Amino acid sequence: EEKSQEMSTNLKYLSLGILVFQTTSLVLTMRYSRTLKEEGPRYLSSTAVVIAELLKILTCVLLVYKESKCNLRTLNRVLHDEILNKPMETLKLAIPSGIYTLQNNLLYVALSNLDAATYQVTYQLKILTTALFSVSMLNKKLGVYQWLSLVILMTGVAFVQWPSDSQATAANEHSACFSSGFAGVYFEKILKETKQSVWIRNIQLGFFGSIFGLMGVYIYDGEQLSKNGFFQGYNKLTWIVVVLQ
């Protein structure tokens, strides 16, 4: 039992370390990719969001395949039973998926105009919005130290942003924080109310995210898409950003 607890603790710290590495490296590479001056057109952030969603679907399908003991027939049955045969459960994921898609596009806009440090600090406001939505939607209770931590967080973000020369970009960042908090808590609520695995849920999220993302590509970048193609401006750095995301 002690060994099991020790392994669980080590796994938590390992997960935290990987998450910190992934988050910081994503911010730095995304910022660099959006400000790097190269010949030809820059890659479209809207298409990068779509590719990231498709990669998420592929990854989660492979994980479900592994859980199905690498049996294609079992995989097909699981996907059919858990997704196609439960249309209302699947449709519930359309709301957070649409919000996540909007959020991911806003983050590209923010990092195209803010330095990485300001972006990283400001985006931590999602902790505040997540806490507020958790209290209101999940009836969670926060302790004194947790509320104090949120006040300190808000103060730190205020100091970083003041004075700000890019109010419009800051507004985009705040919108992303708000959408991140709501979508995260809504997704948690759905996970608690059903018995479906998180991989199945992410496949559903990715499906709707791909549809919403493609709509955004053709609505906002349709003209550029017709001129230079879907993968215009893509290079190794772009693919690193997509994989990290």
Domain that holds residue 66: 44-244
The stretch 100-122 carries a mean pLDDT of 83
- The verdict on residue 174 lying in a domain is yes
Give me the pLDDT at residue 167, please.
54
Which is more confident, 98 or 154? 98
Q: Is the pLDDT of residue 158 over 80?
A: no
- The verdict on residue 33 lying in a domain is no
Give me the pLDDT at residue 169, please.
55
- The verdict on residue 202 lying in a domain is yes
- The verdict on residue 12 lying in a domain is no
- The verdict on residue 16 lying in a domain is no
pLDDT digits (tens, 9 = 90+) for 229-240: 999 999 999 999
- The verdict on residue 145 lying in a domain is yes
Number of domains the chain contains? 1
% the chain with pLDDT above 70: 93
- The verdict on residue 144 lying in a domain is yes
Which is more confident, 138 or 14? 14
The stretch 215-242 carries a mean pLDDT of 93
Give me the pLDDT at residue 163, please.
58
Which is more confident, 207 or 183? 207
pLDDT digits (tens, 9 = 90+) for 41-54: 889 999 999 999 99
pTM, two decimals, is 0.82
Give me the pLDDT at residue 202, please.
92
Q: Measure the CA–CA gap between 172 and 102, rounded to whole angstroms.
A: 10
